Chain A
Amino acid sequence: MVKYMRLPTALAVAFALVTPAVLPASVAADSGPIKIAVITDMSGVYAALAGKNAVAAVQMAVDDFGGSVLGRKLEVDAIDHRNNGPEAAAKAREAYDGGAELALDMTNSATALAVGGVALEKHKLAIVTGGGSSAITGAACNKYMYHYAYDTYALASSTGRNIARGGGKTWYGIVPDYAFGKAMITDFTNAIKPEGGTFIHTDLIPLGNTDFSSYLLAAKNAHPQVLGVLNAGADTVNTMKQVKQFGLDKEMKIAVGLLFLTDVDALPDVFAGSRITTSWYWNQDKAARAWADRFTKVVGGGVRPTDIQAADYSATTQWLKAVKAVGSVDADKVQPYLDGKQFDDFYVHAGEWRARDHRVTHEMYVVDVLPKEQIKEPHAWFKLVQVIPPSRAFRPESQSICKKDW
């Protein structure tokens, strides 16, 4: 009998070892601390763009607000979604159940969409700053999710129109054959059309491709005025490296769809000379610079904030103000307060929490990336070319496909 039980006991022991026994802090709904869950990429490709410095920015906002609201302490939780949708959703659920009232950041559209779904389920707010898919305020829109910083439509309409207006009428598109790429090419095509611009050719390039030489050669032979590099991440780097190799940047204007300050920090020579759109630049005006200087002091290392990190600070502050004004963290009370509200801060200019689809509209900025020799101080990569007002930057309300059910 004893011998018979040896094995099952061993199995039970083995199994017990694998289930950890960490006691969670049980949180009472109305009296414990108010938690903000910053769900971001802490270790992967977006870690520099958002990551731990985004968490620091949110903490700055909390500290600047006084560290508490409605008499309750504020807590900032850093959660790594590791660019994995289901993981982001699972951790968001856990965070909401554990007392988080706001999920923030969600850099990477898949995680944004996943967390948005959880926010709807739990009736709690989620503000997306990092993810860029227009679906967040389109097909996937919901009552509790807001899109704060940029989206693919805004990037396309700003960069596209600016370049087309400046004489870039014929475009050649390097477009990745997945959702982001398809959205970008649609939005760019529509953006340049009113200015008389067209894409003379587009290459829909499948995922997994690291060599763009074939397409760039075709582009070279087509002699467009503008090369639209509408991919993201490593693809953009590879494309741009090869653009420089083929000397394309000397023959045509290079428009990059999606680019952030930290990308240029990592690879300045690759991106020099391209034109992009950003939602904010740390050196764009006095207020921005003042905040950026404080940020740099807090995180150290001379690092300058990206627009996403600034967005995280701004969104936190605006939410806290709303909570204070409404007198409750209940999302069902905060959301109607936010809907339609107009505001300004160092990050958002001419801003509005658009009620129609929860797109937060504000000014966007078309900038050129300066080469190393021309920058006046470290990280001062951008030169402002044009300010785009919110009415032109974002998808007009009339064109929204959001099925508003709130």
Chain B
Amino acid sequence: MNLSPDYLVTQIFNGLVNGGFYALLALGLSIIFGMLRIVNFAHGAMYMLGAFVAYYGAQLFHLPFFAALVVAPIVVGAFGFALETTLLRRLYDLDPLYNLLFTFAAVLVIEDGMKLAAGALGSPYATPALLDGATNLGFTIYPTYRLFVIGVCVLVCAAVYVVIERSPLGARIRAATEKPELTRAFGIDTRRLVSGTFAFGVALAGFAGVLAAPNTNVTPSMGDSIIINTFAIVVIGGLGSILGSVTAGFALGVIAAVGAVVYPPISNTLIFIVMVLVILFRPTGLFGTAERSA
């Protein structure tokens, strides 16, 4: 088998693409968990909704891809905001497992609803013309769109990190997460922050969905397979840790991609095995902090 450096590096690029998606999704999930203590089972469904907003946008309004990258997160975020303020909020005083169960119910409703609207077969979505074709990177000729995905994922993750860890807004979000009553005593509207954070988290998922549409079959169940992997990544990185989610996302994407060609049978279970090991030996995850574990 060909194990030349060029080939390996190209496979690593493939891994970075997948890792980018994982990172975006894990990031959103982690932020939501860190802030709201909600394990959002519906995160995969939000990802799917983002892809469908892009699809319907293109079908009905000739919405171009780059516009969809902005519109879809807004739509999905708004939907998330509505869901949180009307329904999810009622479960906050209870055992956190209830939000897991509620979001699980939401998955059934959202996915089945979408299946009725769009059918279970795929819906077509083409790569945007500007990013079509391949780029010569020297060691390989690589699809341009995939390079774009890697770039965008890195940028967005970095931007989110900067906002949450370094900006005043981020400081408020972190304060509201760690000490809600004290933050409220300072006059900061934590309720709005909470809803806004949930909306932002699912907006990230919607954004990932748009990015995925040219690459992957756009179907109502496209979130199904990715949600469980995302959970595993978040646990590995550390629930509530942004750095952890992003790092674990990219890292596991690369490991899975390389593992896929070195020893395929294990590629689908690799993430879970790593997750179980992490839970056993480093329960708070690679970057998690002690008080944030469930």
Q: Which residues of A contact B (CB under 8 A)?
A: 43-45, 47-48, 177, 203-211, 213-215, 217-218, 221-222, 234, 237-238, 241-242, 245-247, 262-263, 266-270
Query: A residues within 8 A CB of B269?
Result: 206
Set of chain A residues within 8 Å of B138, measured between Cβ atoms: none
Q: In the complex the two chains form, is B2's CB within 8 Å of A266's CB? A: no
B119 close to A47 (CB less than 8 A): yes
Residues of A within 8 A of B10 (CB): 217
B126 close to A (CB within 8 Å)? yes
State in angstroms the CA–CA spacing of A334 and B216 once bound together.
48
Cβ-defined contact, B121 with A263, below 8 A? yes
Q: Within 8 Å of chain A (Cβ to Cβ): is B268?
A: yes
A211 to B15 Cα, complex, angstroms: 10
A238 touching B126, Cβ below 8 Å: no
A210 lies within 8 A of B225 (CB): yes
Cβ–Cβ contact A217 & B217, under 8 A: no
Query: Using Cβ atoms and an 8 Å threshold, which residues of chain B touch A247?
Result: 133-134, 143
Once bound together, how far apart are the Cα atoms of A218 and B120, in whole Å? Answer: 30
C-alpha spacing A210/B22, complex, angstroms: 13
Shortest Cβ distance from B226 into A: residue = A210
Contact B267 A206 (CB under 8 A): yes
- Expressed in whole angstroms, the Cα–Cα distance for A266 and B264 within the complex equals 30
List the interface of chain B (C-beta within 8 A of A): 2, 7, 10-11, 14-15, 17-18, 115, 119-124, 126-127, 133-134, 143, 145-146, 214-217, 219, 221-222, 225-226, 257-258, 260-261, 264-269
In the assembled complex, 21 residue pairs joining A and B whose CB atoms fall closer than 8 Å, in A order, are A43-B115, A45-B120, A47-B120, A203-B264, A205-B267, A206-B264, A206-B267, A208-B225, A211-B18, A211-B216, A213-B17, A214-B14, A215-B260, A217-B7, A218-B2, A234-B219, A241-B217, A245-B215, A246-B134, A247-B134, A266-B124
- Across-interface contacts of B11 in A (CB, < 8 A): 214, 217
CA distance A268 to B145 in the complex (A): 20
With A47-B120, A218-B2, A221-B2 already in contact, the answer to whether A206 and B268 are too (CB < 8 A) is yes
Chain B's closest residue to A236 (CB) is B217
Using CB atoms, name the residue of chain A closest to B228.
A208
- Expressed in whole angstroms, the minimum distance between the Cβ of B205 and any Cβ of chain A is 16
B262, closest chain A residue (CB): A214
Question: Could you say which of A205, A213, A217, A268 contacts B264, with CB atoms under 8 Å apart?
Answer: A205
Interchain residue pairs A-B with the least CB separation, the first 6: A237-B217, A213-B14, A206-B268, A266-B121, A208-B268, A214-B260
What are the residues of chain A within 8 A of B122 when measuring CB–CB? 234, 237, 266-267, 270
Q: Which residues of A contact B115 (CB under 8 A)?
A: 43
Q: How many Å from the CB of A317 to the closest CB on chain B?
A: 28
Report B-chain residues with C-beta under 8 Å of the C-beta of A177.
264-265
A206 to B271, CA, bound (A): 13
* Complex contacts, A43 vs chain B, CB 8 Å: 115, 120
Query: B257, A213: Cβ atoms under 8 Å?
Result: yes
Task: Across the interface, name the chain B residue whose C-beta is closest to A205.
Answer: B264
- Give complex CA distance A114, B143 in Å: 44
- Alpha-carbon separation in the docked complex, A222 to B1 (Å): 9
User: When the two chains form their complex, are residues A234 and B2 in contact, meaning their CB atoms are under 8 A apart?
Assistant: no
